[in-house]
Amino acid sequence: MILDAHAHLLNRGRDLSDDLLRHYLEMYASAGCWRTGRPWTTDDLCVPPETLIDDMDAAGVDRALVMTLGSTVLGRGVLPGLPRSTGGDADR
């Protein structure tokens, strides 16, 4: 049995603010999207549940733990208006 223990479903505006979306698109700008091979887009980050299930079926995944994403960038306070973290492993 194959278990995907770290899958995300994101909904723009609910789970993924425009600031956080920009952060992730910038962070992944130098890497092609694993699904398309092209630069990441909003549609690549915010796929509908049916697309996630189709991708997992194609990869032979039997079960998955699906999560949303935190709505702020942790650790470095990289987005305007976010406070800087005061310590912890994420700051290193």
**Whole-model pTM?**
0.63
Q: 5-8: long-range contacts at Cβ-Cβ below 8 A with a sequence spacing of 24 or more? A: 5/64, 5/65, 6/65, 6/67, 7/52, 7/56, 7/64, 7/65, 7/66, 7/67, 8/66, 8/67, 8/68, 8/69
pLDDT digits (tens, 9 = 90+) for 9-34: 888 877 778 888 888 899 888 989 98
pLDDT digits (tens, 9 = 90+) for 49-80: 999 999 999 999 999 988 766 555 555 545 55
